[in-house]
């Protein structure tokens, strides 16, 4: 998108009106939530769905009484909604559970059972550790590893993946977007290379999901994992996998559970009220997409087209925020890790990692906290990335991570705080 179109899209995006749908933002008064990569706020619709579940049908599914039937209906609806959100071929490709990390481990455990000659796994030095350590642990089951290293620009380049692949490649595990640097992966090109070598592609969509449309068919990936609490839903996770692959996976399940997705992936009881909240979060995106398209929302069943309009609207609005954030950090003399303003914002999300020369990361976040701005310092659960950047893992760097309810005036407050800190 050219800068002019991006700025028109930004101007049209109803960020202020959307903020009013988030009670936590209203309650927090002047606080700027700029730590969204660690968890976002939830809209009223999500709160209502969680409450309604607990008040009206907080029972086990699978019974013949009306409350239990309502739980089954809610789970079916949530699965359909999430399936539409990621563009699954069928809802059974979606499984619900605790969080992304436990799903990555579940798939790694299952894949680890069947490693033969094809035992090479590609991991990256930019990923959240949840998508690295969970694969490295397969060494004891005979896996070997190839490292796909990011380049100096903070991006993974597919040309660097090509030489790592061979007839021994079992899987490539990488993130759709870096939770520290905000850089976005070329998903389809990665899938094409991986498949040409006969391997499978596992995508971590946790950081990417609140910022842009997910399309597992267009990405042509094989597995994709996501967390609810990053996409304006409660704490929970979901996994999408190609049906045929999930059907073949060797997962733990009790004997009486059929060996078919999604049941074979969902051991035990998951947190139903949070799944109800997840469904409502997708309805929130559906309502946003309908509003941006000038239509009235069919809240009960968000359409794929409207979800795409919502996520494209968020993407273009956030590109404006990214640009302003990068510019203000440059004005304050920050050292930015990853893509800078001059490279534009098409390849990045509004997540920026930086340090102020001569100021410890913790001092920056403390000063921001005194100004009622929530940002984070540390390693961002990406210790290998910190080492690559030449940073001490203990102290790391400072991250500002924005969501679509953040605004340009909030960024001005950050600029003032950082400028004061530089002067002091």
Ligand X SMILES: Cc1ncc(COP(=O)(O)O)c(C=O)c1O
**The only residue of 50, 173, 206, 336 in contact with ligand X, by rule CB under 6 A:** 206
Number of Cβ atoms within 10 Å of the Cβ of 282: 27
Residue 310 binds to ligand X (criterion: CB under 6 A)? no
Size of the site for ligand X (CB under 6 A): 15
Tokens standing for residue 300 = 């009960």
CB of 196 to ligand X, least distance (A): 26
Lay out the site mask for ligand X across 362-381 (x = CB under 6 A, - = otherwise).
Answer: -------------------x
Q: Which residues of 89-121 are buried (b: 16+ CB within 10 A; e: fewer)?
A: eebbbbbbbbbbbebbbbbbbbbbeebeebbbb
CB of 235 to ligand X, least distance (A): 8
CB of 131 to ligand X, least distance (A): 6
Residue 100 binds to ligand X (criterion: CB under 6 A)? yes
Among candidates 140, 120, 273, 111, which has minimal Cα distance to 197? 120
**The only residue of 21, 41, 101, 316 in contact with ligand X, by rule CB under 6 A:** 101
**The only residue of 92, 120, 200, 204 in contact with ligand X, by rule CB under 6 A:** 204
CB of 275 to ligand X, least distance (A): 14
Altogether, the residues listed in the chain come to a count of: 424
Among 123-131, 213-221, 252-260, 336-344, which window interacts with ligand X (CB under 6 A)?
Answer: 123-131
Please report, as residue ranges, which positions from 380 to 409 form the binding site for ligand X (by CB under 6 A).
381
Tokens standing for residue 401 = 């991570």
Q: Strand 335-337 and strand 351-355: pairing?
A: antiparallel
Residue 35 binds to ligand X (criterion: CB under 6 A)? no
In a 3-state reduction of DSSP, which class is residue 226? Answer: strand
Tokens standing for residue 29 = 């008064």
Residues facing 94 on adjacent strands: 240
Looking from the CA of 75 toward its CB, the CA atoms found within 13 Å total 24
Residue 175 binds to ligand X (criterion: CB under 6 A)? yes
Among candidates 284, 236, 244, which has minimal Cα distance to 404? 284
Please report, as residue ranges, which positions from 130 to 149 form the binding site for ligand X (by CB under 6 A).
130-131
Among 94-102, 241-249, 279-287, 340-348, which window interacts with ligand X (CB under 6 A)?
Answer: 94-102
Binding site for ligand X (CB under 6 A): 37, 99-101, 128, 130-131, 175, 179, 204, 206-207, 227, 237, 381
């Amino acid at each position: 998108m050219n800068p002019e179109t991006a700025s028109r899209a930004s101007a049209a995006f109803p960020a202020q009106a959307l903020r009013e749908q988030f009670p936590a933002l209203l309650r927090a008064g002047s606080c700027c939530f700029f730590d969204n990569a660690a968890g976002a706020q939830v809209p009223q619709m999500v709160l209502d769905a969680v409450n309604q579940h607990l008040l009206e049908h907080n029972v086990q599914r699978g019974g013949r009484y009306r409350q239990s039937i309502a739980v089954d209906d809610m789970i079916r609806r949530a699965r359909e909604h999430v399936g539409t959100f990621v563009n699954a071929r069928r809802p059974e490709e979606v499984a619900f559970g605790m969080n992304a990390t436990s799903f990555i481990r579940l798939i790694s455990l299952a894949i680890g059972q069947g490693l033969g000659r094809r035992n090479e796994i590609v991991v990256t030095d930019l990923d959240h550790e949840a998508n690295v350590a969970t694969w490295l642990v397969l060494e004891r089951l005979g896996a070997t590893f190839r490292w796909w290293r990011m380049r100096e620009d903070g991006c993974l380049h597919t040309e660097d993946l090509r030489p790592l692949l061979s007839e021994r490649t079992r899987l490539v595990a990488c993130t759709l977007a870096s939770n520290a640097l905000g850089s976005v992966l070329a998903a389809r090109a990665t899938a094409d290379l991986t498949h040409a070598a006969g391997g499978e592609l596992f995508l971590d969509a946790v950081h990417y999901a609140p910022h842009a449309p997910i399309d597992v068919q267009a990405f042509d990936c094989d597995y994709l994992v996501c967390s609810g609490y990053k996409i304006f839903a409660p704490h929970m996770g979901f996994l999408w996998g190609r049906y045929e692959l999930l059907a073949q996976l060797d997962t733990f399940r009790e004997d009486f559970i059929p060996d078919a997705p999604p049941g074979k992936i969902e051991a035990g009881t998951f947190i139903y009220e949070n799944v109800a909240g997840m469904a409502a979060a997708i309805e929130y995106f559906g309502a946003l997409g309908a509003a941006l398209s000038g239509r009235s929302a069919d809240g009960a069943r968000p359409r794929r087209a409207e979800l795409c309009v919502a996520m494209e609207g968020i993407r273009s609005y956030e590109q404006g925020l990214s640009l302003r954030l990068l510019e203000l950090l440059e004005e304050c003399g920050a050292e930015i890790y990853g893509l800078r303003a001059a490279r534009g914002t098409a390849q990045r999300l509004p997540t920026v990692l930086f340090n102020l020369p001569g100021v410890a990361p913790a001092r920056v976040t403390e000063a921001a906290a005194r100004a009622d701005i929530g940002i984070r310092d540390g390693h961002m659960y990406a210790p290998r990335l910190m080492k690559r950047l030449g940073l001490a893992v203990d102290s790391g760097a400072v991250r500002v991570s924005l969501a679509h309810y953040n605004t340009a005036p909030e960024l001005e407050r950050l600029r003032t705080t950082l400028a004061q800190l530089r002067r002091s």
